[in-house]
Chain A
């Protein structure tokens, strides 16, 4: 099956500086890819470049089997939905109206029904009529994710969807994205929580200083070497009853003479 998204040698320069260098990767339908890396590694830039929101200095992006530039607005929207990291919402619209923005291609009635179903899926159906600015940050994050789910795009791209949420909500959000992948969508998530990413994703892409350092199954990509060189961590991913867990300490602490 052709990939939902393919990047071929994508580079991005900003203000004369290389932010992303020669990144190639592909995500297949039904696959969930975790994009990880330290702050400033270029994760968001990579997502934005993949979606045509960021000018590339080199490389090609193939979305749904066609070069991104040849797709019209509608085809692009069917090919990919995007949840930016920024959770600022301009107006205090009710949650269900916000979620329904994802379903703009449906009739208003069908869009609202789908929006409610997606809110229900994220266990915030009871907040459907509440204004998003009157909610807690965690509630708003779920409503915004419901909007992404309602796009039903072939590729769902979520930038830090679980950041700043309590543990139960983080697991719920990753689980729901995982379910979309099981239903045949391709999913890309970024996360600062390596344990969370390793548990939820089929493959992990590790980005460091704009370069793709590792790509593979979680245990493979997040090897002790990568953890040390990219994240400055001493340790490894270990199997636990609940799934993979990161057991690490700061490398500096480990090497420093006591």
Chain B
């Protein structure tokens, strides 16, 4: 509980920083104006531009952090996360198809496609996980699924009818939380809420899986049901994140990694801290994307990949050592 309290304080600080900083520097008087009159220009900046953007980053980060922690617990592997396993790629690809066929702007279509893509990849992983127990093997399948998702996305680019559509898809696949409004967030909250509830329901099963499938099967827990809940929950969280912010990798890897030690390595007790840590990481990553002075604003997915890929290598290094023992 102390860990969760500390993380919430850090998240509040990250959100405050994220709202306070941006392209336009506000002075103290302008902050005052924003709070007395939300309709004033500073008020619009704070409450209609930066506010939803920061909240969106936090929400997507929390969803990905939780999804990563659940996948790691389920597959008993510190390298598992939606990006590495190809769930994000399939989700992104499905959404790209929706954009390419001109349905990107129709309400709910892109979101639905992203969810379907994520659930399909989650289903494939669940089937593979039931057949192949070795944690290393599943990561290899994840690489294959990622590559398939990437290849299909390339195919969509290849066949895309116009350069404008191609740019649309690319922009969106790079991952961003810019220009989101509160209604976008509200829409994402529904699948994310259901996904989070399923994940928390599965928590006890994830803890039991620490000992392996067979010991867990005789633990008295309804493992089959818990496993389905975990897969569906993680897929919903990922799909809703992709629908809201495009493909953002490695948050699901980094967040559980950061909190695991403080949660006594317990896959169940890692879940909530991972969600909050994911929210903090993505809020800070988005802040970084905005304040680093580049000609074109950095994309959130690019920032997380730049930091996340080396971390992946580090976690792989450690995992390989523990698998050998």
Which A residues contact B (CB, under 8 angstroms)?
48, 51-53, 73-74, 76-78, 80-84, 86, 88-94, 97-98, 101, 104-105, 131, 133, 144, 147
Q: Is the CB of A77 within 8 A of B214?
A: no
Partner of B214, one of A82, A90, A91, A104: A82
Q: Is the CB of B221 within 8 A of A104?
A: yes
Q: Is the CB of B267 within 8 A of A91?
A: yes
- The chain A residue sitting closest to B135, CB to CB, is A90
Instruction: Name, among B76, B208, B325, the residue most crowded by chain A CB atoms within 10 Å (CB to CB).
Output: B325
Residues of B contacting A94 in the complex (Cβ-Cβ under 8 angstroms): 264-265
Complex CA–CA separation, A101 to B217 (angstroms): 12
Q: Given A84-B212, A101-B207, are A73 and B265 neighbors across the interface (CB < 8 Å)?
A: no
Complex CA–CA separation, A231 to B151 (angstroms): 55
Tell me the number of A-to-B contacts counted with CB atoms below 8 Å: 77
Q: Is the CB of A77 within 8 A of B215?
A: no
Complex CA–CA separation, A92 to B76 (angstroms): 11
Q: Given A84-B215, A97-B266, A104-B204, are A91 and B221 neighbors across the interface (CB < 8 Å)?
A: no
Q: Is B292 an interface residue (CB 8 A)?
A: no
Which B residues contact A (CB, under 8 angstroms)?
76-77, 135, 204, 207-212, 214-215, 217-223, 260, 264-267, 322, 325
Complex CA–CA separation, A51 to B214 (angstroms): 10
Instruction: Name, among A48, A80, A92, the residue most crowded by chain B CB atoms within 10 Å (CB to CB).
Output: A92
- The chain B residue sitting closest to A144, CB to CB, is B211
Partner of A91, one of B219, B222, B223, B266: B266
Complex CA–CA separation, A97 to B264 (angstroms): 9
Residues of B contacting A92 in the complex (Cβ-Cβ under 8 angstroms): 265, 322
Residues of B contacting A78 in the complex (Cβ-Cβ under 8 angstroms): 220
Partner of A93, one of B135, B218, B266: B266
Q: Is the CB of B211 within 8 A of A73?
A: no
Cβ of A51 to closest chain B Cβ, rounded Å: 6
Q: Is the CB of B265 within 8 A of A104?
A: no
Instruction: Name, among B77, B212, B214, B222, the residue most crowded by chain A CB atoms within 10 Å (CB to CB).
Output: B214
- The chain B residue sitting closest to A159, CB to CB, is B214
Residues of A contacting B211 in the complex (Cβ-Cβ under 8 angstroms): 89-90, 98, 101, 144, 147
